[in-house]
A and B are shown apart, each in its own frame.
Chain A
């Protein structure tokens, strides 16, 4: 339990620190946002963290212990599917936790004061400021929540994987692909998108031949294709054409 708490706390701390160091300096609200600055700052922070992890954990891959003992919770049961497929019992626990987290995040975003502030700031920063939203505090809360959710995902998914420094980027981009499969900013859609993407990956992998290689490319291909075609998500309402 202590390990889980420390991991979640580290996720929150790193996320808030990256905001303070690499993003905040570029959000000069007197002159507007400097998109290039915070993008570069965010990417560079990610590279620094990734390099620090790679230096301190130099092996090609690591097996991570299961701090939540998910396999023990389900008694190590495996669900056999028609056609020879199998799903570990712990997968259903991960799905249940993801569902609860998504429903809670959705409820918080829609009903709580902080959630409404985050949505207002995302939709129209200037209007949010005029409405009395505490900008600084809201952004810090959003970054803390992002770090907490990322760390939660890592705790749930890492025990089933061979973990390396690059794995985080791949998982993060797969998460982004799952998010754009629904509607960006909708946690429930992200869970469904993740489920669809995961099943599709397994189907491609089980096709044999170079299926395993193609399944690695699938989330990245989906992310690029969906962003290019529907930047706000696959099932988001189309934006009206801008009048020039």
Chain B
């Protein structure tokens, strides 16, 4: 059951990668850094006396903020340079944890009591987070993310992602706020990665550096990478012939921008 829960948390982290790679066409290789922020952040905060629930929320929010900042800083990057920069970022996080043992706990990693207990003095509740509880939580999160991604082609922001997949210039000409969308995508990817990391750290009660690296390898080789991207991404690009978002079912209203000169798609 513990292995199942761990794999489901890994699935959540991989969904984060899929949002950036498959749905937005951004070759992001830094997902393991966000997993590490979630895992080490949660464990460090708990070790310093923060309640478990608050620690998870703070760690996930910190990762999302970091993801947004990276999206902002890497706004001009695409393709190979973006992959190289985010890969270097993942190694930067890993190296920081290695060379500063107080952050990563050294070879032994960071440990905390397991199974964890959620205590709410206000409500007078104490819940033991058994592996089955983790399975339920991870399944629920993964299912919600999968459902949202599955329906994304029918939502306005899903069409923005489709435009981004086809290329930033086309997306810009269609009135998609490219920089804002990329920042938001990386924030969501980071938050999901951190959630996967935090969940696994709480489940196991220990987080080591090699666990982060294993997550990185599993995420990189997950099926989302290999979703047969025709050009620049794993999902179909914007096209009048696209079966996923036919114009008759979804109306794309280009936003008014001062730089827009290309005609709206029919």
Query: B2 interface residue, CB < 8 Å from A?
Result: no
Query: B180 interface residue, CB < 8 Å from A?
Result: no
- Which one of A173, A213, A228 lies within 8 Å of B99 (CB-CB)? A213
Query: B124 interface residue, CB < 8 Å from A?
Result: no
CB nearest to A220 among chain B residues: B92
- Which one of A34, A40, A217 lies within 8 Å of B230 (CB-CB)? A34
Query: B150 interface residue, CB < 8 Å from A?
Result: no
Q: List B contacts of A44 (CB < 8 A).
A: 220-221, 225
Query: B132 interface residue, CB < 8 Å from A?
Result: no
- Of the candidates A31, A34, A39, A221, the one having the most CB atoms from chain B within 10 angstroms of its own CB is A39
| Interface size counted on chain A using CB atoms at 8 A | 31
Task: Write the nearest CB–CB distance from A47 to chain B, whole angstroms.
Answer: 6
Q: List A contacts of B233 (CB < 8 A).
A: 36
Query: A244 interface residue, CB < 8 Å from B?
Result: yes
- Asked if B232 and A36 make an inter-chain contact with CB atoms under 8 angstroms apart, the answer reads yes
Q: List B contacts of A37 (CB < 8 A).
A: 229
Task: Write the nearest CB–CB distance from B264 to chain A, whole angstroms.
Answer: 14
- Which one of A35, A169, A170 lies within 8 Å of B79 (CB-CB)? A35
- Which one of B76, B95, B173, B229 lies within 8 Å of A170 (CB-CB)? B95
Query: A216 interface residue, CB < 8 Å from B?
Result: yes
Chain A, 169-185, contact with B by CB distance < 8 Å: what is the 0/1 string?
Answer: 11001001100000000
- Which one of A40, A217, A242 lies within 8 Å of B220 (CB-CB)? A40
Task: Write the nearest CB–CB distance from A206 to chain B, whole angstroms.
Answer: 16
- Asked if A242 and B169 make an inter-chain contact with CB atoms under 8 angstroms apart, the answer reads yes
Chain B, 5-40, contact with A by CB distance < 8 Å: what is the 0/1 string?
Answer: 000000000000000010001010100000000000
- Which one of B81, B95, B262 lies within 8 Å of A216 (CB-CB)? B95
- Which one of B29, B73, B80, B91 lies within 8 Å of A35 (CB-CB)? B80
Given contacts A213-B99, A227-B77, contact A36 B87 (CB under 8 A): no
Query: B259 interface residue, CB < 8 Å from A?
Result: yes
- Which one of B85, B98, B169 lies within 8 Å of A227 (CB-CB)? B85
* A-B contact list, 27 entries, CB within 8 Å: A36-B21, A36-B229, A36-B234, A39-B29, A39-B79, A39-B80, A43-B29, A44-B221, A47-B221, A210-B100, A212-B99, A213-B99, A213-B100, A216-B95, A217-B96, A220-B88, A220-B89, A220-B91, A224-B89, A224-B92, A227-B74, A228-B73, A231-B77, A231-B81, A244-B173, A244-B260, A244-B262
Interface residues of B (CB under 8 A from A): 21, 25, 27, 29, 73-74, 76-77, 79-81, 83-85, 87-89, 91-92, 95-96, 98-100, 169, 172-173, 217, 220-221, 225-226, 229-234, 259-262
